[in-house]
Amino acid sequence: MKRQAVTIVIDGVGVGALPDAVRYGDEGANSLGSAARAVGGMRLENLERLGLGNVAPIEGVGAVRCPAASWGRMGERSPGKDSTTGHWELMCCPLDEPFPTYPNGFPREIIGPFEERIGRAVLGNKLASGTAVIEELGEEHIRTGRPIVYTSADSVFQIAAHEETIPVRELYRLCWTARRLLKPPHHVARVIARPFAGAPGRFERTKKRRDFSLPPPRRTLLDLLAESGREVVTVGKIHDLFARRGITKVIKAAGNDAAMRAAERIVRSGAPFSLLFVNLIEFDTEWGHRRDAVGYARGLERFDAWLGRFLALCAPGTLFAVTSDHGCDPTMRGSDHTREYVPVLAGFAGGASRGKDLGTRETFSDLGATLAEFFGLACPAGASFLDSLER
């Protein structure tokens, strides 16, 4: 029987601050715990059954005696707390050095050549919230045609433009220009197109965001799978984070509901895949960054209801894992990601499995190493916990 695995990344869902979180200004962060407290407890029956309440205290989610999956938490070995770093480490490519960040905006040695290449000056060039910066500068952008450039605590070069002022295709070309210019030591992890629409006072970002990422510096598990002739199907933003490398089929999805529907369609249809790699982005983009604890909690409850149905559709023996890439505590000050442990719940679909305590893992790459062993491959990083998953 062909081996299949499903990995679901609930983007920006951490379970408590890492020991070095104070270096990032994230001491006390706890995305899941904070969201649960903010709403007086969450109802997550399927995640509770899999062992989420055994990972960390979460109001409304109890610890169970015999979880249906193995449970634990994983620490991030790589420096940083961004999506690119987190996803790469999950797939056995941890980093030793952080990507560059620009808390004071980009220096002239970056902005000057960029403006020269695109033939116009930029607006902004500062650290800012994406929604706030378009409210501040959107009207001037429309009047002048100058793109809005901004960054965050992550390693990102973001370009915002109104779709009627700079059409989306042209915005993508601007991003490619920036991507080609951003070489070491200014090799930011992602250049992000941030189109928006509407009138002043009512601007809204549209669903045509696109990320232009650096390729991973080494082969990842996705590369190993594709090179061995296996099908790697991604849903959501994952193809952007890996610069499409090691991926055999891309399913784009704008938001959690679209991604969940796409994953369900793939499983229902019997479409071929070895690894189905799904990202649910809204815990990060819609609720975490915007510090909307209520939306964050309700999103988790919707995901939980879907997860029960989805796992019931998976073929018996499918290895499944639910995890995250970093934290994004919706109750912390500011609007940035948070440096946290991430949960990991893993097991096999079908049958009555008994989970085991996976403890605290030293690196996200332990998940990638587990998947690699499942597929009979040697992973360059991490320690597999496959023998702790009972079929």
CA dihedral 291, 293, 296, 300 (to 10 degrees): 150
Structural contact between residues 293 and 35, judged by C-beta atoms closer than 8 angstroms: yes
Q: What is the pTM of this model?
A: 0.91
pLDDT at residue 354, rounded to an integer: 75
321-367 pLDDT tens trace: 999 999 999 999 988 999 999 999 999 998 656 799 999 999 999 99
Upstream peptide bond of 185 is cis (omega within 30 degrees of 0): yes
DSSP letters, 139-178, are HHHHHH-PPEEEE-SSSEEEEEEETTTS-HHHHHHHHHHH
Q: Mean pLDDT in the chain?
A: 95
User: Model confidence at 114, in pLDDT bands (50, 70, 90)?
Assistant: very high
Domains of the chain and any CATH numbers: 5-95+217-388 (3.40.720.10), 108-213 (3.30.70.1250)
For residue 203, the SS3 value is: coil
236-251 pLDDT tens trace: 999 999 999 999 999 9
Q: Where are the beta strands (DSSP E) in the chain?
A: 5-10, 70-74, 123-127, 148-151, 156-162, 190-197, 204-205, 210-213, 232-235, 249-251, 275-280, 319-323, 342-348, 357-361
